[in-house]
Chains A and B, each alone.
Chain A
Amino acid sequence: EVQLVESGGGLVQPGGSLRLSCTASGFTFSSYWMHWVRQAPGKGLMWVSPINSDGSVTPYADSVKGRFTISRDNAKNTVYLQMNSLRAEDTAVYYCARGGNYIENPFEYWGQGTLVTVSS
């Protein structure tokens, strides 16, 4: 059974940093693109960033470029999202999702999400 478990969310002050983790099980983690998707309270889904199987391709949504860094450790079956210079508008539930062998593939599995609140 595929499982994705996010952790690391919490309350952080504007300008602060947070690192999210997503630990996967039930599939060959090193073969798949992984994605972070966020959802602000009461709002829609927003794609944040993906990472390819070996970590060499890491594009970002314009709104987080230069502030967020995605990475992965295939030995630990874990994908990370380092978030710096956080703003109030980054407040959201952050989901990790499993893609496929190509970036065009859909997000077939999702974690339960972790809430990040940016507030003073």
Chain B
Amino acid sequence: QSALTQPPSASGSPGQSVTISCTGTSSDVGNYNYVSWYQQHPGKAPKLMIYEVNKRPSGVPDRFSGSKSGNTASLTVSGLQAEDEADYYCSSYAGGNKVVFGTGTKVTVL
């Protein structure tokens, strides 16, 4: 199974918004509403930020939002804060009891 495609990097100034794309195929992102997003700070374990395309676990700020159109999912971080600087990974259920992650995007707060 091939990794989902994400841009290597994204950036924005404090208070601005940044959107990260996650492109898959009709066998994964396009076929299931089971897209999740994870935030990972250096040396730390990933943290779930969004699940089922646009749902937030309790405790995740509403500055984080998700969406999907066709084979591409997106994560938007509004009102960027310094602590949002991290790596972000999408994942999708891919059928056949398989899960696939994205290639990862490093978000920099300028």
Q: With A104-B34, A107-B38 given, is the CB distance from A47 to B100 under 8 Å? A: yes
Contact with B along A67-107 (1 / 0, CB 8 A): 00000000000000000000000000001000000011111
A104 touches B32 (CB 8 A): yes
B97 touches A108 (CB 8 A): no
What residues of chain A lie closer than 8 Å to B38, measured between beta carbons?
45, 107
B103 touches A44 (CB 8 A): yes
What residues of chain A lie closer than 8 Å to B51, measured between beta carbons?
105-106, 108
What residues of chain A lie closer than 8 Å to B48, measured between beta carbons?
106-108
Contact of A45 among B52, B89, B93 (CB under 8 A): B89
B20 to chain A, nearest CB (A): 13
B97 touches A44 (CB 8 A): no
Q: With A44-B89, A47-B91, A108-B48 given, is the CB distance from A62 to B97 under 8 Å? A: no
B45 touches A110 (CB 8 A): yes
User: Which residues of B does A touch, CB under 8 Å?
Assistant: 1, 3, 32, 34, 36, 38, 40, 45-48, 51-52, 57, 89, 91, 93, 96-104
For the complex of A and B, 5 pairs with smallest distance between CB atoms: A106-B51, A110-B45, A44-B104, A106-B36, A59-B97
